[in-house]
A and B are shown apart, each in its own frame.
Chain A
Amino acid sequence: MNPLILTIILMTVFLGTMIVMASSHWLMIWIGFEMNLLAIIPILMKKYNPRAMEASTKYFLTQATASMLLMMAIIINLMHSGQWTITKVFNPTASIIMTLALAMKLGLTPFHFWVPEVTQGISLTSGLILLTWQKLAPMSILYQISPSINLNILLTMAVLSILVGGWGGLNQTQLRKIMAYSSIAHMGWMTAILVYNPTLTMLNMLIYIMMTLTMFMLFIHSSSTTTLSLSHTWNKAPLITTLILITLLSMGGLPPLSGFMPKWMIIQELTKNSSIILPTLMAIMALLNLYFYTRLTYSTSLTMFPSTNNMKMKWQFETKQITLLPPLIIASSLLLPLTPMLSILD
């Protein structure tokens, strides 16, 4: 793509999210969402093939529907409160509709169906932007309206998301679909704690973004989109296999890696608010996630030479540049002892 156009489009995506996060007027928020949506469509369609077109069409339709639902919730709020400022939502109907709209944007169950298909149809870099940057805007709105969200709906969607994210990823071999289901599950964890302690949502978002960035960077480096092609990394760059192992185990939430920190904090916060069965169930369902990450590490790093390669190796014309990999690796694996620092998020 022409670099100037690419810059303008990326700036628009950035600006859209910034408008959403910084506004105090509901209309500006809606405008920010639309700006974001319109600008990201060309990014999703960077490779001009029918699969990418299908993916961006699905993305556009779901996000546009969600924006319209959001607009309806805004109007109902306007009718009941007479003002456009973002404080709490003044009407339970508006709150429910807004929660559903934002859940649709995030990809929570039962609105998760678009996430694997869209992520699969686009390139790895676009998938990276989709799964990390695009989650920031809806999450910031959820953070701001968190006092008035209906607890039952949000918790149901969260728990179902963790279940679907774990269960759905079990049958996948395509790496982008695995990351999509992982994103659904992590969104579930984040929204479960939203009503009780929104700071932990931000913590989980931060750690999740770091881990997903690391994973995608490692995938981009080895240009691998399937489990089978990932199992060739030991031929090209054996150190990458170790890093994939560490990051995947961190995403699964194994102590002593930093992926355990959000889960531990969320379980602690939920238990303090006298729900005991819920965090137990959530933790057990996170084990499903861990299963397919472990299976991925088995084929990538834990069964190296002298096992044979099953697939013809791809040509690699140039070494791809990975930005910021060392700090990302450190952040996604060694942050657990720094847990008391989460007070800076307040």
Chain B
Amino acid sequence: MLKIIIPTIMLMPLTWLSKKNMIWINTTTYSLLISLISLSLLNQPNNNSLNFSLMFFSDPLSAPLLVLTTWLLPLMLMASQHHLSKEPLIRKKLYITMLAMLQTFLIMTFTATELISFYILFEATLVPTLIIITRWGNQTERLNAGLYFLFYTLAGSLPLLVALISIQNLTGSLNFLLIQYWNQALPDSWSNIFLWLACMMAFMVKMPLYGLHLWLPKAHVEAPIAGSMVLAAILLKLGGYGMLRITMMLNPQTNFMAYPFLMLSLWGMIMTSSICLRQTDLKSLIAYSSVSHMALVIVAVLIQTPWSYMGATALMIAHGLTSSMLFCLANSNYERTHSRTMILARGLQTLLPLMAAWWLLASLTNLALPPSINLIGELFVVMSSFSWSNITIILMGANITITALYSLYMLITTQRGKYTHHINSIKPSFTRENALMALHMTPLLLLSLNPKIILGFTY
């Protein structure tokens, strides 16, 4: 695992020592190389995890997330080139350093064995993200967004620290490799109910759960493009990953403790999808769509069946790629018109037809068109929730319909129709932007040929 971590740490001296005309080339190339190294982790043994040391391991759940994380760094760097082009050299290097630091913490989080180490790194990802959002965001609301982001996550995760330490006192070790073998049922008592709540609330805030999602539209909208990409694609999945790991220790309380959160998620996914239909701000629409998809993941994780775990893992990877691509597309609009309002940039298909093709593909995968992995994820979740309770099919069906509605609404508003008269002077699409979209879409399409690698450890 050090073969991935040490090169990522060394990306930071690389940026500081590069010449002015080479920083983007150097960092993008080397981060792409690192992502190629991480692909070897996808070769997982069927009945165990790959244990590299006492501190790092990777199993079929964390390997796809790790590959997604390392794949996303070159994409983030490519996406940030335009809005940083006017900044002085030192600020560019600071930005890239923040991204590399965030990357290091994320890689270590996904591969940590000891749960307290996972917690420290989970919290450590907050600091570079906060700096990226508040320093390089564009509107004054970014300050409020940073505060909401920081404090929602911290208020949820401080009880998690206390809970992890008390579990360590009870069981003697929090090393994940050990826990999966001598897992016992939690006795039924009031304090164990609070233990369950303390463990889960951090991840619920991070996912986010419908009632605690207030930080997400703010943070996603106000962040610069790399910040939005990493937030949507990876940081939300940290919550899902953490929940998948911790629920293993929390049985049998999950059987009855999960009900309120299941209700909130089932209702919340409909609510947030419906709000998407009324959004005027493009990034805000994509942010609420993220909440809706993640609500599906929460439902899947709390039901705790093998099929739902498969669906959750697949959905996390698929949504990561799709959401990041949508944010890149929205950013390409923003860089041209400097506005996020959807109706100000209509009819782009006439002016930028290739970009319209990418918009179409991204919207189609967002609404879970077969045979993309988005569909596989959603289908597995819908099926397993139907088997858990027949009535959920109504809500799930409604959600899929509304998702299709707002994805098509977004597509039609930005691409179709007559273009607005003020945008016929925009620059044509850069090769960099087309490459960015292609690099998002290609893994998404290729994975539909072999979805086994992203189906997680219950395959």
Contacts and interface: CB of A to CB of B under 8 A. Distances in A.
The answer to whether A and B assemble together is yes
Interface of A: 245, 249, 254-257, 260, 264, 267-268, 271-272, 276, 279-280, 283-284, 287, 290-291, 294, 298, 301-304, 336
A267 B124 contact: no
B161 A264 contact: yes
Given A287-B151, A291-B151, A255 B124 contact: yes
A255 B162 contact: no
B178 interface: no
A279 B162 contact: yes
Given A267-B162, A280-B159, A294-B147, A255 B154 contact: no
28 contacts: A254-B123, A254-B127, A255-B123, A256-B120, A256-B121, A260-B120, A264-B120, A267-B165, A268-B165, A271-B162, A271-B169, A272-B169, A276-B162, A276-B166, A276-B191, A280-B198, A283-B159, A283-B162, A284-B158, A287-B151, A287-B154, A287-B155, A290-B150, A290-B151, A298-B146, A302-B146, A303-B143, A304-B135
A260 B166 CA distance: 18
Interface in B389-424: none
A158 B222 CA distance: 39
Given A255-B120, A256-B120, A294-B147, A280 B169 contact: no
Interface in B181-206: 191, 198
A255 B134 CA distance: 19
Contacts of B147: 291, 294
B131 interface: yes
B191 A254 contact: no
Contact of A298 (B134, B154, B166, B198): B134
Interface of B: 105, 120-121, 123-124, 126-127, 131, 134-135, 143, 146-147, 150-151, 154-155, 158-159, 161-162, 165-166, 169, 191, 198
Contacts of B123: 254-256, 260
Contacts of A284: 155, 158
Contacts of B155: 284, 287
Given A279-B162, A283-B162, A302-B131, 13 more contacts: A254-B126, A256-B121, A256-B124, A260-B120, A272-B165, A280-B159, A283-B158, A284-B158, A287-B154, A290-B150, A298-B146, A302-B134, A302-B135
Contacts of B105: 256
A245 B151 CA distance: 17
Contacts, number: 70
8 nearest A-B residue pairs (beta carbon):
A283-B158, A256-B124, A255-B123, A302-B134, A271-B165, A255-B120, A302-B135, A280-B162
A254 to B, nearest CB: 6
B136 to A, nearest CB: 9
A301 B131 CA distance: 10
A165 B89 CA distance: 40
B161 A267 contact: yes
Contact of A294 (B120, B150, B198): B150
Contacts of A287: 151, 154-155, 158
Interface of B is mostly: helix
Nearest to B161: A267
A271 B143 contact: no
A304 B135 CA distance: 8
A284 B159 CA distance: 8
Most B-side CB within 10 Å, residue of A280, A287, A302, A336: A302
A231 to B, nearest CB: 13
A303 B159 CA distance: 31
Contacts of B169: 271-272
Given A294-B147, A303-B143, A283 B161 contact: yes
B134 A303 contact: yes
B166 A271 contact: yes
A271 B143 CA distance: 35
B263 to A, nearest CB: 26
Contacts of B127: 249, 254, 256-257
Nearest to A304: B135
Contacts of B191: 276
B200 to A, nearest CB: 15
Contacts of A257: 127
A291 B154 CA distance: 11
A291 B151 CA distance: 8
B233 to A, nearest CB: 22
Contacts of B124: 255-256
A260 B158 CA distance: 12
A272 B159 CA distance: 15
A254 B124 CA distance: 7
Nearest to B198: A280
B302 to A, nearest CB: 23
A338 B134 CA distance: 30
Contacts of A271: 162, 165-166, 169
A294 B147 CA distance: 8
A260 B126 CA distance: 14
B154 A290 contact: yes
A100 to B, nearest CB: 30
B193 to A, nearest CB: 13
Contacts of A302: 131, 134-135, 143, 146
Contacts of A245: 131
A257 B105 CA distance: 13
Contacts of A279: 162
Nearest to A295: B147
Contacts of A267: 161-162, 165
A303 B133 CA distance: 11
Contacts of B131: 245, 302
Contacts of A280: 158-159, 162, 198
Nearest to A298: B143
Contacts of A268: 165
A304 B158 CA distance: 31
A113 to B, nearest CB: 28
Nearest to A336: B120
A296 to B, nearest CB: 12
Contacts of B198: 280
B363 to A, nearest CB: 35
A286 to B, nearest CB: 8
Nearest to A301: B135
Nearest to A245: B131
Contacts of B126: 254
Contacts of B154: 287, 290
Nearest to A279: B162
Nearest to A269: B165
Contacts of B158: 280, 283-284, 287
Contacts of B135: 301-304
Nearest to B150: A294
A287 B126 CA distance: 14
Most A-side CB within 10 Å, residue of B105, B147, B191: B147
Contacts of B151: 287, 290-291
A83 B120 CA distance: 49
A291 B121 CA distance: 21
Contacts of B146: 294, 298, 302
A196 to B, nearest CB: 14
Nearest to A288: B151
Contacts of B165: 267-268, 271-272
